[in-house]
Amino acid sequence: MDNSTIEQSVHILNSCDDTATKASKASENDPTEEEASGAADKSIVKLTKAERRAKLKKSKKEAKKQGKEAEPEVEQTPQEAVLAEVKEDLTAEEAFESKKNKLAELGIALLADPTSNTKSLKEILQICKDNNHAIVKLGLLSLLAVFKDLIPGYRIRLPTEKELEMKVSKDVKKMRFYESTLLSVYKAYLQKLAALEKQSSFQHVAFRCICTLLDAAPHFNYRESLLGVVIRNIGSPDDVIRKLCCSTIKSLFTNEGKHGGEATVEAVRLIADHVKAHNCQLHPDSVEVFLSLSFDEDLGRAARNDEKHKPQSKKSKKKKHYEEARQLKENDKKRSRQELLTKTREEVAADYKAVAFTPDVMERRGMQTEALSAVFETYFRILKHTMHSSTSRSEANASLSTGASEPHPLLAPCLKGLGKFSHLIDMDFMGDLINYLKKLASGGSDSENTSKCLTVSERFRCSIVAFTVMKSNLDALNVDLQDFFVQLYNIILEYRPGRDQGEVLAEALKMMLCEDRQHDMQKAAAFVKRLATFSLCSGSAESMAALVTLKHLLLKNVKCRNLLENDAGGGSVSGSVAKYHPYASDPNLSGALASVLWELNLLTQHYHPAVSSMASSISSMNAATNQVYLSTISPQQAFTDFSLERPESFKPPSEVTLLYQLG
């Protein structure tokens, strides 16, 4: 075989190897399965490069499509699902820990050096915008703690444009930057809280921050915004929010040294406007906060004493200035020295007044007068609203005769406040107040519908307040309270245990009967007979309060002890009315002196041993004894001692029983 033949054979073998190599590479790149190996080999050999690329792309798209369709069908094992969930929790927990540590670092840096780390305030505020609710709450509470420590004891006043143009030292610039940054972040923080307090998930945290800031720094900037939010929610249906707001307002009233009384006046005025806007339909706590107010009665005296030492007219002022000027002209040195001293004293007084929350007597008196006027304006508005709403409702329901009464939520705290501040009421309004109370508590024909729309306890409270006002202004007022006695005489029989408040009944008996200075025999006998009848159909606590009052009346009115006699014709003293009228509405016309206390005989068989012992003690009183001594036990104490539903209340110790017997 010659060399040329060998070379040709080698060339053919090499070409076959190249073809096989290309075919194998093409088959590796093609992910699709071939339907027939021979046909596939022929097609691969015949396709061009462009056709092979297009076919390869098409096959890849189909493979991806098939993979996506097959993905949902692939079920993850329980172990893999648990591992994935644990990984997510670990990642979230790590992020939470890192942000929490960041908040701690920023807070510590701020408290260590506030002026150098002022920008940390903005960073904490930025963290409060996180999507994680827990991080947001931590950020809000962190800023609250920081602001409580950083807020200065004065209101920040930003410099004016002229002041900014002046050249100042580096320390002044640094302080200005710190104060402006603190104030701007504080404002943004309050805006953030105002936005979050409307979201249910952040309400409690937001109100906690708002109330704490107002309580800790009532003197600082934006106090009006904080007060507005708190007063708007002082009657919130949410117990937590309402208690937070009420406790904050009470703290403002009791700690006036923090703000000098200015916040008190603003809060009282806002509450008065809030009550007016809601037409007196609020939670009782909204007005009950007024009971935490305290007024200095010596301010008026001090002001009057100061006015005595001051000139009373412009003429005297001019004369005084003229004499001072003449004396100063005589000695220039003395004049210059006097002017310098006066100027220095004025500057010192102005600086002291700016930094101290202790206004002078005149300012303090003015603020107290404004607060008092707002309080009594609110109280009188509640009384008027109660009268008008009760009358209108009773007229609307007159044909139905349902007996349902419209609730008056603010009446009870209003009456409590009137009783507490009765000695501060202006005498010009005292007559109107007594008339309002008389219309609310009276059962006469003119206001019969009104009284039916009030509860028994509310009508009792009206009478109690009227007697409290009279007791506080005994020397200045001369008002007949007979209508209140008539109302008490009739409403005693309307009392129902369990429905009405027994402590209010006991207070009314103590205030109106035990502490009454007038000794009218007919009236006292009528109440003795009515209380004995009441004791037959009441609980043990109410019966004890009534019997204690009954015994007090018999001890104070000796002639009324004739009711204990058991003559055939009744009592030996009949008075102006010869016959007893049990259904008379006026105690003076009942003729109770002609009756006998037969109820005591039944009460001696009472199921409660204390009531039985008290009835026996009253029955054994001697009518001939002229010695007058009063009981040391009040109706309120008697009601409290026997109102507890305990087993031992039915078997009191012998010493307690003896104490009630002896009175």
CA–CA gap between residue 420 and residue 471 (Å, rounded): 12
Residue 539 lies in a domain: yes
Supply the pLDDT for residue 299: 52
Answer whether 470's CB lies under 8 Å from 423's CB: no
Residue 192 lies in a domain: yes
The number of beta carbons lying within 10 Å of the beta carbon of residue 222 is: 17
Distances, alpha carbon 496 to alpha carbons 174, 457, 491, 534, 600, in Å = 72, 10, 10, 10, 21
CA–CA gap between residue 531 and residue 520 (Å, rounded): 16
Answer whether 456's CB lies under 8 Å from 494's CB: yes
Distance of CA 455 to the CA centre of its chain: 25
Answer whether 142's CB lies under 8 Å from 124's CB: yes
CA–CA gap between residue 111 and residue 121 (Å, rounded): 11
Residue 589 lies in a domain: yes
Answer whether 518's CB lies under 8 Å from 470's CB: no
Residue 637 lies in a domain: yes
Residue 11 lies in a domain: no
Distance of CA 158 to the CA centre of its chain: 34
- The DSSP letter of residue 135 is H
Answer whether 594's CB lies under 8 Å from 582's CB: no
Answer whether 382's CB lies under 8 Å from 414's CB: yes
Supply the pLDDT for residue 34: 41
Residue 21 lies in a domain: no
Distances, alpha carbon 556 to alpha carbons 254, 460, 515, in Å = 42, 23, 11
Structure token pair of residue 533:
């009848």
Structure token pair of residue 88:
């997510």
Query: Which of 221, 241, 274 is the C-terminal boundary of a domain?
Result: 221
3-class secondary-structure state, position 497: strand
Backbone phi and psi for residue 236, each to the nearest 5 degrees, phi listed first: -65, 145
CA–CA gap between residue 356 and residue 352 (Å, rounded): 6
CA–CA gap between residue 320 and residue 101 (Å, rounded): 70
Query: Which of 221, 247, 276 is the C-terminal boundary of a domain?
Result: 221
Residues 582, 586, 588, 591, Cα dihedral to 10°? -20
What is the DSSP annotation of 375-394?
Answer: HHHHHHHHHHHHHHHHHHHH
The number of beta carbons lying within 10 Å of the beta carbon of residue 402 is: 8
CA–CA gap between residue 624 and residue 562 (Å, rounded): 9
| Of 348, 196, 380, residue with least CA distance to 272 | 380
| Of 299, 281, 279, 291, residue with least CA distance to 237 | 281
Supply the pLDDT for residue 227: 94
Query: Which of 221, 249, 271 is the C-terminal boundary of a domain?
Result: 221
Furthest CA-CA distance within the chain: 173
Supply the pLDDT for residue 393: 54
Answer whether 382's CB lies under 8 Å from 410's CB: yes
Angle at 187 between CA 183 and CA 190, to 5 degrees: 140
Distance of CA 582 to the CA centre of its chain: 47
Answer whether 470's CB lies under 8 Å from 433's CB: no
Structure token pair of residue 46:
């015949």
Q: What is the enclosing helix (H) or strand (E) of 435?
A: helix 427-441
| Of 466, 483, 570, residue with least CA distance to 525 | 570
- As to burial, measured by CB atoms within 10 angstroms (0-12 exposed, 13-18 middle, 19+ buried), residue 284 is middle
CA–CA gap between residue 605 and residue 165 (Å, rounded): 95
Containing structural domain, residue 587:
519-662
What is the DSSP annotation of 500-543?
Answer: B-HHHHHHHHIIIIIS-----HHHHHHHHHHHHHHHHTS-HHHH
CA–CA gap between residue 272 and residue 266 (Å, rounded): 10
Residue 456 lies in a domain: no
Task: Going from the first residue of the chain to its last (663 residues), give the mean pLDDT of each consecutive group of 10, the final group possibly shorter.
Answer: 46 46 45 42 53 74 61 56 62 79 88 86 88 89 91 88 86 89 92 90 93 92 93 92 94 88 93 93 93 76 47 51 58 65 70 56 84 93 84 49 57 92 83 87 51 80 89 68 88 89 92 80 91 91 92 87 68 65 87 88 90 90 57 82 60 50 50
Structure token pair of residue 621:
């009183």
Structure token pair of residue 333:
């040195």
How many domains, in total, are found in the chain? 2
Residue 469 lies in a domain: no
